[in-house]
C-alpha cells in the first residue's frame, strides 16, 4: 500500500493538471472581473426586454457568463480539494461563492419576466429573431412551470421565506455533522475510544461479532437520544414540502418533485410495487447470511460483514487501470481511447494525501474536460471506484463533445447509469477470469451487497418517503412513534423475518440526510436497474443496444431522461427493466448459494 506524507511526493502522472483550466492565477482574476462586468450588464436588462433581439442578447450573455463562471468555480473547488487546509485555495473558493450570489441576484428577474409573457408573445419573439431557435426548447421548458408560478408579489414573499424553509434541513445537518457524538467502543489496547463514522464503516464489517455489536449500539446511541429533535426537523421538512406543493398547485408533493424530469408518478409507484413482488431472493440472501455466519439469531449488525473472509487482493493503480480497460472492452475502441486520454492527460487525481478531500467524484467542465478525484487504496473497492467514476467521466466528456453548452449537462436521473454499466461489466470480467473459488465467492458477495445497498435499500427509503408525505397530506400527525412504526414495518417487509429486531432498527430513518431532499433516492434504484438491463444486453453482444447506449452517452440533456432511456430500449414506465434487474439479482444469489 503506497502512502504519501505530502502531495509533493506523489508522482506527477498520478496528479490532475489544473493548468488545463488556468495556466496562472492572474488569468483566474481576469475572468473574475469579466464575470462581474457581465453580471452588471445582465442586471441592465431588467424591464428592458421587449422584443426578440433584446431577449436573444440577454440569453447569449447569460450563457457566456455561465461558461466562465463554471470554469472559475471548478478551479477553486478542485484546488481546495487537493488540500482542504490550504488557505490560498480557500480564499479563491470564498471569492467564487460571493460571486455566485452576485450572479444569482443579477439574473433573478428573468424567470418571473419570462413566465409573465403569454405563449403567443414568446412565439412571436422567436419567429422574428431566428438566433433564438438555439434557446427555444429551453424557454418552453421553463414555460411548463407557468401554471405553478404565482404572482410577482407572491413569488417575492416566497423567495424571502426561502431561508426559513431550509431551516429543518440545516438543523439536521448541524446535528448530524457537528453536534452528534457517538458512544465509545473498545480500542486496540482495550481502552475506550469515541466512535467516528469512518471507524463505524470498518467496524460494522468486522469479523468479530462483539465488535460489530458494540459499534452498532454506540453508533445509534445519539440518534435514539435525539429522537424527538430529529423527528421534529424531519416532520417540519415534510410539512414544508407538502405546503409548497399546495401553494404551487401540484396534485401532490411527489408530483412536484417529479415535475422537473417529466417523470409520471407511475414510474415511482411501479418501482416500489415491482420490487416488493420480487422480494423473495433478498429474503433468501438474508437466510444464506444467517447460515453462512452460523448464527442462532441474525441482527442488523450482522448484515454488512462480508461472508467470504481471507480475500485480500492488492491491486496497484496501474494494474487497476489495465483491468478496467480489459473489462470495458465490450464498449468499443473509442471508449477505451478516452480512458487512456484520462490517464495520460492527467485528468485523474489518484492518491490519498494529508488534507485531501475524502471520497471520490467526477466533475465535468464544459469546454475543458472532466476531472476525477480518487483516494486510491490499491484494493478491490478502489478498482470499483475507479471504474465507477470513469463511467461518469466518459459520460461527461462525450456529452460535452457532442452537445452545445445548453444541453451538455446530463440530469441526475440518468447520472448513475453510465457508472453502473461499467461496474456490471467489471464484475462480469472478474468472474470470468477468476479460477480461485474463494475470490469468486468474494466477488459475488461484493456485488450482491452493492446491489442490495444501491437498489433495495433505496427503494425501501423511497417507499418510506412516500408513506410519510401521504400521511402529512392527509393531515395525520408526524412524530417519533409514526416514523418508528413506518420504518420498522418496511424494514421487516424488505429484509424478511430471519432478523431479530433490536430496538435500534426502528430509528433507521433518523440518520438519513437524503430525506431532507424529497423524493431523490429513487433515482439511484431506477438508474441501477436501467444499467443492469443495458449491461446484460451489451454482454450478450447486442450491437443495436451498444450503439444506442453510446449515443445515449453523447446525448447530455437533449431530451427528458425517460425519453433518452427509451431510445436505448429501457422503458421505465413499464415493469420490465425493474423485473430484469431483479431476475439478475436472483441469479446472483442462486450462484452464490451454490458456491
CA count, 13 A, side-chain hemisphere, 190: 0
Q: How many angstroms separate the CA atoms of 426 and 38, rounded?
A: 46
Whether 533 contacts 570, CB under 8 Å: yes
Backbone angles phi, psi at 26, to 5 degrees: -60, -30
Question: Which CB contacts under 8 angstroms, 24+ apart, belong to 56-62?
Answer: 56/129, 56/131, 56/132, 56/135, 58/110, 59/132, 59/135, 60/131, 62/107, 62/110
Do the beta carbons of residue 526 and residue 272 sit within 8 Å? no
Residue at grid coordinates 488556468: 22
Answer for the pair 164, 87: CB distance below 8 angstroms, yes or no. no
**Catalytic residue (one of 389, 416, 423, 473):** 389
The grid coordinates of residue 298 equal 441474525
In angstroms, what CA-CA distances link 266 with 13, 272, 559? 48, 10, 20
Distance CA 492, CA 161 (A): 39
Contacts with 147 (C-beta within 8 Å, 6 or more apart), sequence order: 249
The x, y and z cell numbers of residue 127, run together, are: 419567429
191 catalytic residue (yes or no) = no
Q: How far is CA 233 from the centre of its chain?
A: 23
Catalytic residues: 389
Amino acid at each position: 500500500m503506497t502512502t504519501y506524507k505530502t502531495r509533493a511526493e506523489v508522482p506527477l502522472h498520478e496528479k490532475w493538471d489544473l493548468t488545463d483550466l488556468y495556466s496562472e492565477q492572474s488569468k483566474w482574476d481576469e475572468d473574475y472581473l469579466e464575470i462581474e462586468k457581465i453580471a452588471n450588464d445582465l442586471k441592465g436588462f431588467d424591464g428592458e426586454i421587449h422584443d426578440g433581439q433584446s431577449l436573444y442578447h440577454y440569453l447569449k450573455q447569460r450563457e457566456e457568463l455561465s461558461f466562465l463562471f463554471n470554469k472559475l468555480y471548478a478551479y477553486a473547488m478542485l484546488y481546495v480539494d487537493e488540500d482542504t487546509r490550504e488557505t490560498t485555495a480557500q480564499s479563491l473558493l470564498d471569492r467564487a461563492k460571493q460571486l455566485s450570489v452576485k450572479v444569482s441576484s443579477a439574473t433573478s428577474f428573468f424567470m418571473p419576466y419570462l413566465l409573465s409573457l403569454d405563449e403567443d408573445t414568446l412565439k412571436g419573439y422567436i419567429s422574428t429573431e431566428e438566433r433564438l431557435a438555439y434557446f427555444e426548447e429551453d424557454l418552453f421548458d421553463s414555460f411548463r412551470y407557468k401554471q405553478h408560478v404565482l404572482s410577482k408579489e407572491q413569488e417575492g414573499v416566497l423567495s424571502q421565506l426561502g431561508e426559513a424553509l431550509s431551516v429543518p434541513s440545516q438543523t439536521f445537518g448541524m446535528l448530524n455533522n457537528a453536534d452528534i457524538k457517538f458512544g465509545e467502543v473498545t480500542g486496540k489496547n482495550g481502552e475506550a475510544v469515541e466512535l467516528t463514522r469512518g471507524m463505524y464503516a470498518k467496524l460494522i464489517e468486522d469479523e468479530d461479532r462483539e465488535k460489530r455489536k458494540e459499534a452498532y449500539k454506540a453508533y445509534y446511541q445519539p440518534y435514539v437520544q435525539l429522537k424527538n429533535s430529529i423527528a421534529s426537523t424531519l416532520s417540519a421538512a415534510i410539512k414544508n414540502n407538502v405546503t409548497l406543493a399546495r401553494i404551487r398547485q401540484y396534485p401532490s408533493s411527489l408530483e412536484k418533485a417529479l415535475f422537473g424530469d417529466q417523470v409520471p408518478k407511475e414510474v415511482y409507484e411501479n418501482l416500489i410495487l415491482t420490487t416488493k413482488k420480487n422480494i423473495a431472493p433478498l429474503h433468501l440472501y438474508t437466510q444464506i447470511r444467517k447460515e453462512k455466519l452460523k448464527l442462532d439469531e441474525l441482527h442488523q449488525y450482522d448484515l454488512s460483514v462480508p461472508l467470504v473472509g481471507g480475500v485480500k487482493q492488492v491491486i496497484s493503480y496501474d494494474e487497476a487501470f489495465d483491468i478496467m480497460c480489459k473489462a470495458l472492452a465490450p464498449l468499443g475502441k473509442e471508449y477505451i481511447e478516452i480512458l487512456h486520454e484520462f490517464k495520460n492527460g492527467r485528468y485523474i487525481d489518484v492518491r490519498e494525501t494529508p488534507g485531501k478531500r475524502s471520497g471520490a467524484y467526477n466533475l465535468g467542465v464544459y469546454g475543458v474536460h472532466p476531472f476525477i478525484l480518487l483516494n486510491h487504496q490499491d484494493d478491490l473497492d478502489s478498482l470499483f471506484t475507479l471504474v465507477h467514476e470513469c463511467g461518469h467521466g466518459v459520460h461527461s466528456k462525450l456529452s460535452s463533445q457532442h452537445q452545445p453548452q445548453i444541453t451538455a449537462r446530463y440530469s441526475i436521473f440518468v447520472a448513475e447509469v453510465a457508472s453502473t454499466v461499467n461496474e456490471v461489466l467489471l464484475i462480469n470480467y472478474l468472474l470470468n477470469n477468476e479460477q480461485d473459488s474463494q475470490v469468486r465467492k468474494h466477488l459475488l458477495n461484493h456485488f450482491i451487497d452493492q446491489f442490495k445497498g444501491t437498489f433495495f435499500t433505496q427503494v425501501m427509503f423511497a417507499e418510506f418517503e412516500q408513506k410519510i408525505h401521504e400521511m402529512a397530506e392527509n393531515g395525520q400527525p408526524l412524530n417519533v412513534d409514526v416514523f418508528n412504526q413506518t420504518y420498522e414495518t418496511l424494514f421487516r417487509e424488505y429484509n424478511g423475518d430471519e432478523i431479530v429486531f433490536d430496538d435500534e432498527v426502528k430509528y433507521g430513518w433518523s440518520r438519513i440526510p437524503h430525506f431532507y431532499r424529497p423524493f431523490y433516492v429513487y433515482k439511484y434504484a431506477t438508474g441501477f436497474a436501467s444499467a443492469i438491463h443495458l449491461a446484460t444486453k451489451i454482454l450478450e453482444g447486442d450491437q443495436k443496444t451498444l450503439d444506442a447506449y453510446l449515443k445515449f452517452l453523447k446525448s447530455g440533456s437533449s431530451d427528458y431522461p425517460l425519453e433518452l432511456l427509451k431510445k436505448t430500449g429501457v422503458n421505465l414506465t413499464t415493469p420490465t427493466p425493474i423485473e430484469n434487474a431483479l431476475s439478475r439479482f436472483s441469479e446472483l444469489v442462486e450462484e452464490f448459494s451454490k458456491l
